């Protein structure tokens, strides 16, 4: 079947041009976007491959470092010493301490959720746990979800966390590089998981009581979803996942739906050979949008603030390949325009968050990782 390449939308768009004269990437450089100038301010440095970011109610930030540290960042950008009470992690390849999220009732219970690659019998697997933030440590940390079975590969952990409006927790799982197991629904490979905050399985999950399926599964047929966010209007979960050589996808995972990996894809294997049967198959869902060639997406946020009025309700997606931030304009569930931002900055963007101040915050994935803040320039 002939493939429709949606990146034709992107190539016709104006790209961000650099205004800064200096060849060095320093705090305060200004870039010109389609609607507005954007100043990039360095909030904090010295993070080792930061992966996930969550804002506390007082504006401080919790940031994970993939080697296994959790840091508290003050309002003036100062890094704390590593917090205590964090679980041991499998810090190899793409594994380590990954995402962080606050409980919806954090101001009452102080609970913090972490996703991480957990070592154990058979290798490692994506796990999620929670503990109460008290001073400089997590107290009474306990694991509430474990990927079954573990494996010796060190890629495709997924690991983004997103709380739905009803308080249920979505967890994205990669297929751990074992693509031939992504359509085996009796194990955890390439799925979105939905659990209650205590780890129990909601009774209205689509596979509860169904033989051959994991009851905590919400959707399956995913490759490696490293982005997840709740739509501010509909309350639906949106995810973005890595393709192989091309075929990065935006999906809106629905209960009990199959998103096709590795039976269908808009990419090809790294060898150049076709994946599965092509791009379509009955009973398998089509993506909302895809990129070919790949941008290696990681981290996303719907913008709802007032600092960038022209970006209201836009979807912002970080990219590791091409080192950029992608801005997508939406019409309902359809992407109608794409703009690629900050491409000259030369930083792999791992996570994207809207701050309580309405500015946009980015994590850069590097040995000396940064927290960046985007501010509008009139």
Task: List residues with catalytic annotation.
Answer: 156
Q: How many CA atoms lie within 13 A of 272 on its CB side?
A: 0
- Across the strands, what pairs with 320? none
State the distance between the two ends of the chain, measured CA to CA, in whole angstroms. Answer: 48
Residue 136 CA to residue 330 CA, distance in Å, equals 41
- Residue 17, Cβ neighbours under 10 Å: how many? 10
CA atoms 122, 220, 204, 250: torsion sign: positive
Tokens for 136, please give them.
């400089």
- Residue 51, Cβ neighbours under 10 Å: how many? 28
User: Do residues 303 and 353 touch, judged by C-beta distance below 8 A?
Assistant: no
Q: Three-state DSSP class for 78?
A: coil
- Start-end of H helices in 29-116: 106-109
Q: What is the DSSP letter of 343?
A: G
């Amino acid at each position: 079947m002939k493939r429709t390449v949606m990146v034709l939308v992107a190539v016709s768009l104006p790209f961000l041009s650099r205004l800064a004269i200096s060849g060095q990437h320093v705090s305060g450089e200004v870039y010109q976007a389609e609607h507005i100038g954007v100043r990039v301010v360095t909030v904090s440095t010295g993070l080792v491959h930061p992966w996930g970011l969550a804002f506390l109610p007082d504006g401080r930030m919790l940031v994970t470092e993939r080697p296994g540290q959790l840091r508290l960042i003050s309002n003036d950008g100062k890094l704390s010493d590593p917090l205590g009470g964090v679980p041991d992690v499998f810090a190899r390849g793409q594994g380590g301490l990954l995402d962080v999220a606050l409980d919806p009732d954090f101001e009452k219970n102080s609970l913090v959720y972490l996703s991480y690659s957990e070592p154990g019998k058979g290798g490692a697997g994506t796990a999620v746990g929670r503990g109460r933030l008290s001073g400089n440590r997590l107290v009474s940390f306990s694991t509430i979800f474990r990927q079954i079975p573990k494996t010796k590969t060190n890629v495709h952990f997924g690991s983004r966390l997103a709380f739905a409006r009803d308080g249920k927790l979505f967890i994205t799982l990669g297929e751990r590089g074992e693509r031939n197991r992504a359509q085996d629904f009796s194990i955890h490979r390439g799925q979105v998981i939905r659990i209650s905050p205590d780890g129990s399985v909601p009774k209205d999950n689509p596979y509860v009581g169904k033989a051959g399926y994991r009851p905590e599964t919400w959707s399956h047929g995913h490759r490696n979803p490293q982005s997840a966010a709740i739509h501010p209007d509909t309350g639906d979960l949106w995810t973005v996942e890595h393709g192989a050589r091309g075929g990065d996808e935006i999906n809106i995972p629905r209960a009990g739906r199959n998103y096709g990996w590795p039976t269908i894809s808009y990419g090809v294997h790294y060898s150049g050979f076709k994946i599965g049967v092509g791009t379509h198959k009955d009973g398998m869902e089509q993506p909302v949008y895809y990129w070919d060639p790949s941008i290696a997406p990681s981290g996303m946020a719907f913008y709802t603030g007032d600092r960038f009025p022209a970006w209201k309700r836009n979807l912002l997606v970080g990219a590791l390949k091409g080192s950029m931030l992608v801005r997508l304009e939406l019409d309902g569930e359809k992407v109608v325009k794409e703009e690629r931002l900050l491409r000259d900055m030369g930083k792999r963007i791992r996570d994207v968050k809207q701050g309580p101040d309405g500015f946009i915050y980015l994590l850069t994935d590097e040995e000396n990782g940064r927290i960046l803040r985007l501010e509008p320039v009139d």
